[in-house]
Structure 1
């Protein structure tokens, strides 16, 4: 398959466009506010204090979002909040800021996770990998928009270090990661920081230091790709080493691009000595940082002020959500006195991509790539021996959810080592999309993706038999009680109102659990009280005991507490490669070519709704 075999540099790269040069120049001359000066941006003289306004824009967690497109819906992206995504939208926002502030007074930075997450990114990693002659669409777009630096995210390593190095060479700006160390040399594997020189219309240039920090969890999540090659230190520890170096190198402003969330926590517990989300700790514990562009957590933080404990000075944090849905804008007010620039104040805000149109120059730049990827997503990747529908998955055992559980459990089991490798593996899946249907015959990427409409990643945790039963009891709260055997319409049984779900328990908070090597079987007796509905729980035909230990394949939303299921948040994590479950399903079909429910779905149901010992009949 051939797409975009243009050599890098011949792609018709555009300047981030849409704004007349004259307008930007005039704005650049007018922006500096001169205290005690003549209002024209002249440099300091006679000991007077001069002011200057610097703007640094930031994105993060773009995850392969170049255009405002949902590849699985084959339509423009939209969600319940009507967010838009993609670098083409970001480009328009960036142009507007540059026009307002003057391009010479602005910088543009990213906080990582760029090359994984959409079908566009997958295509250029697996179907037609980038090379010396095949440029990554994200590189082309970011170069065209005019980024100045980017931190390395954890998902940058998903496709291996050589792939990342190829991407790095295609960029017109540096990838930064002060805490990614080469195991062979002990030195940084990427540039730790860069100092950009901003030149006001008049006066002494300003040096802006940008420090990149990545996530220590890479050592766990991408162990297969980095073990023995790279090690990852703590964000605070490395920042304490490099910020003083940046100041000695003349940095007037210090900005950190941190691929690490603001709220201190770790999905991997104490497995590593360094926390996963440490941006606030960096602000508190490392002096002389003015602002931090936060990434990784997929949160929207317009502005958060953290006080540095050593200096008492404020540090401003901002995180622009994800996928190009927002653009952070840091505004730095600088004073010049005694021959030096200093930061007087920092403000920040986020701009919303859904307020602007896509930059047509970026759309045109990526048009050929987009066409090929859309054709791929709608193309055939395998066949199914029979149709599978999720329409009834809320209230009866279906092959559609069995398929999800099988692929999840198989992926977790293949990665287990030591004593954990001998444990039975279970898996949970929810009926996310009752409209999902896999046809008999040809199956496309879009067909498979419809089964799993969220961007959850896969984990494996250890639960006891007692915890498995408690989990299933929580799940069974989804159902309304019945008086006895009979035939019931589905809406009389599902979406029960609970104290935590006053509008009814959503479908995504009902989980089906299944076994990999042996079936996990159970009944849900709706004549019993909530908390005692699970009966006949067995694995491989033998009753599950309270102290029996299982590995359970689970999504990150559940594992982090989503739905408030018992026992999972503190459970030992034995698998976490941060791989998207939806992509795992697509990869499985691509690799196996044939989907045969006989492989993963039993003839007899593994679970059923009952009234006592009598199965219920449920109608749509």
Structure 2
């Protein structure tokens, strides 16, 4: 069986344990303060009158199928510009260090471990056990096995939990040794919770009554749009703030001294789906500000690193601490809550949070050993043949000439959108797609094609959306994209560096390749020329669809990735254009699925030369 080189034992760094691990990971200890505004992070100061007890809650979010510090598409140990590490195997080492530190103080209560969702989708490891060897056949999901081994106390549902359908999700739920929470995931007919809304954890305090911690889980209402095919007529999703107002009082009434909300929703108010739903996508801070009775919030969904944010509840004046531990197991959040007895009940009198960095420790060898066979099986799959290509496709020249490689990306995107829109009001509109030359080194060879070969054409984890745009908006979009080219005269030949990656006001060091977009049509070609002898804003000529000049008011459906649609690159119109498709399916996976289903990639079926560079109307030549 194909091995992963270093067997993902994360040999780049030395294993650090106990207090050394916490210090290396960025842990900061500050003495607890008994005051109402205490923000301490050290141990509690005893259990006598007026003394505080420190309760620690650890948290992860947006793990997205990462157990190992491994990039399956590169077939190498994961690394990025910030040298982050990923995966539950490393998180396990940090969790053990935190538990050992707290256990050393016999007066301290046991820490809790939570997750804020998006667990079973995002890597070939997760995909394999949903689609290739589904866990419905009896295999334990690697994420369930790892989280059980670590000893989570609860997790919230994420929106990506629903990507593979309810059968996979329910099987995953049954495999967990802790509850999967979703107070606002409601039965379509009855409106009752389809998952446990909350769980009460009674934490032992030596010589005192236990602390009862209520953990409320809330997921993202956008699931109703993003996974409509899997949830329609089965589940509906209430608003985050609205459902918190319902459930937080119930958790308190059930006996909770402390309420922690694990919510799969970004910190600051926004919605990628506009007003398509009456509830915002990202509302964690708003929830903390407007719903009384919450002490701490573990935030997810936005893939941001927020060590600590303190929000004051507008009704009670009490502070709430919020934290988000980035993504993929790169960070572990620590929430420290200082409690004091008040009329026989525990009350939070201080709060603080921070994040620990997973790149400071090695993987837990027990987690690695537990899932090494699963990992090796997936490495073999990713490197295995899934089809063949009739001729080689390279992206080496994609920034300056129409290539089969980018036409393939656009074809898959547009084809997926067209199939989904069948039977809708937009089905009669022409479908276009947008792609950028992300990776000049990418190539699909002639002959056998592996999952890894296909994935190399699309190196980002972007998901597919579709919007409607007019002909005038398409023209302005292309003009903006053409700012990528430097202004030159003559027909060349020009070395590519003389033509591409032009500096702009927003990219003074040169426009990156990923901010140059190429448009293509599905059923009929979208054709245009880019005259780089002309100044920016006046370069697009001969814009036509199916050989007929595009009119200003002509309507198109445009397949686009979530980065661009959310404003990445600041392209005009696309961010505010009406969204007609958004199921949060990864474009890379759509490409893999296409090759797997068809067995053959034949550029003749999708590649035509539809755009070109000119200088004052004359074709130019560009070399590498």
Fold agreement, TM-score > 0.5: yes
Confirm whether residue 345 of structure 1 aligns to residue 362 of structure 2: no
SS in 2 for 1:420: coil
For the residues of structure 2 that align with 1:548 and 1:316, how far apart are their CA atoms?
Answer: 50
Q: How does 1:78-97 map to 2 (within 5 A)?
A: 78-97=79-98
> What are the superposed Cα offsets for residues 568-589 of structure 1, whole Å, 9 maximum, x if unpaired?
1111000000011111111111
Partner of 1:60: 61
**Counterpart residue number, 1:165:** 170
Q: Are residues 1:611 and 2:615 paired?
A: yes
In 1, Cα distance between equivalents of 2:291 and 2:44 = 36
Contact 2:288–2:294 (CA<8 Å) still a contact in 1?
Answer: yes
Q: What is residue 269 of structure 2 aligned with on the other side?
A: 264
Secondary structure of 1:472 counterpart: helix
Aligned mates of 2:613, 2:44 — CA distance in 1: 77
Whether the 8 Å CA contact 2:332–2:357 is kept in 1: the answer is yes
Bigger mean CA deviation after superposition, 125-134 or 431-440: 125-134
Q: 1:527 to 1:43 in 2, by over 3 A?
A: closer
Q: 2:424 maps to what in 1?
A: 418
Of 569, 583, 587, the match for 1:563: 569
Match of 2:138 in 1: 133
Tell me what 1:293 maps to. Answer: 298
Q: What residue number does 1:442 align with?
A: 448
The answer on whether the counterparts of 2:306 and 2:325 sit within 8 Å (CA) in structure 1 is yes
Instruction: Give, in angstroms, the shift of residue 19 of structure 1.
Output: 7.4
Aligned-partner Cα distance in 1 for 2:288–2:303? 19
Counterpart selection for 1:152 from 148, 157, 162: 157
Shift in alpha-carbon separation, 1:301–1:34, aligned structure 2, 3 A? closer
- Matched-pair contact (CA < 8 Å) for 1:385–1:596: yes
Whether contact under 8 Å (1:56, 1:108) holds in the other structure is: yes
2:545 corresponds in structure 1 to 539
Distance 1:489 1:32 in 2: 62
- Deviation (angstroms), 1:91: 0.3
Preserved CA contact (<8 Å) 2:44 2:54: no
Q: What TM-score results when the alignment is normalised by the length of structure 2?
A: 0.92
Q: Hey, what does 1:594 align to over in structure 2? A: 600
1:462 pairs with 460, 468, 471, which one?
468
Q: Which residue is 1:122 aligned to? A: 127
In structure 1, how many angstroms separate the alpha carbons of the residues matched to 2:350 and 2:589?
44
Q: CA RMSD in A?
A: 1.9
Deviations 1:96-130 (A, max 9, x none): 11111228520000000000000000000011000
User: Secondary structure of the equivalent of 2:316?
Assistant: coil
- Cα shift readout 1:454-490 (whole Å, capped 9, x = no counterpart): 0111100111000001000011000011122221111
Whether the 8 Å contact between 2:16 and 2:362 is mirrored in structure 1 is: no
Could you give the per-residue CA deviations for residues 424-459 of structure 1, whole angstroms, max 9, x where no partner exists?
010010000000000001000000000000011110
SS in 2 for 1:92: helix
Partner of 2:529: 523
Measure, in 1, the Cα distance between the counterparts of 2:195 and 2:137.
20
Deviations 1:505-554 (A, max 9, x none): 10100011000000000000011110000000000000000100101000
Matches within 5 A, 1:166-565: 166-416=171-421, 417-565=423-571
- Higher mean alpha-carbon deviation, 126-135 vs 165-174, is at 126-135
Indicate how the Cα distance of structure 1 residues 149 and 607 shifts in structure 2: closer, same or farther if over 3 A, else same.
same
Query: What is the CA-CA distance between 1:394 and the residue it aligns to?
Result: 0.6
Find the aligned partners of 2:99 and 2:584 in 1 and give their Cα distance.
36
CA distance 1:33–1:234, shift in 2 (3 Å): closer
> Quick check: 1:43–1:204 contact (8 Å CA) kept in 2?
no
- Is the 2:55–2:109 Cα contact (8 Å) retained in structure 1? no
Please report the TM-score for the alignment, with normalisation by the length of structure 1.
0.93
8 Å contact kept, 1:41–1:201: no
- Residue pair 2:528, 2:542 contacting (<8 A) in 1 also: yes
2:103 matches 1:98: no
Which blocks of at least 5 consecutive residues in structure 2 are unaligned? 2-14, 19-29, 35-42
Cα distance in 1 for partners of 2:605, 2:297 equals: 50
Kindly indicate whether the alpha-carbon contact (under 8 Å) linking 2:392 and 2:446 is maintained by their aligned counterparts in 1: yes
Indicate conservation of the 8 Å contact 2:17/2:93, yes or no: no
In structure 2, relative to structure 1, the CA distance for the partners of 1:19 and 1:395 (3 Å cut) is: closer
Distance 1:40 1:615, change over 3 A: closer
* SS of the residue 1:550 aligns to: strand
- Matching residue of 2:71: 70
1:7 is aligned to: none
* Segment drifting more, 141-150 vs 336-345: 336-345
Flag structure 1 segments of 5+ consecutive residues without an equivalent: 2-16, 21-30
Could you tell me how far apart the structure 1 residues matched to 2:33 and 2:280 are?
43
Distance 2:347 2:99 in 1: 23
Q: Distance in 1 between matches of 2:130 and 2:469?
A: 35
Could you list the per-position Cα deviations for residues 21-41 of structure 1 after superposition, in whole angstroms to 9, with x for gaps in the alignment?
Answer: xxxxxxxxxx99898xxx998
Q: Which moved more, 1:332-341 or 1:441-450?
A: 332-341
- C-alpha distance in 2 between matches for 1:42 and 1:468: 67
Tell me how far 1:263 sits from its aligned partner. Answer: 1.0
Measured after TM superposition, the shift of residue 43 of structure 1 is 5.2
Q: Distance in 1 between matches of 2:558 and 2:238?
A: 30
Helix, strand or coil for the counterpart of 1:375?
helix
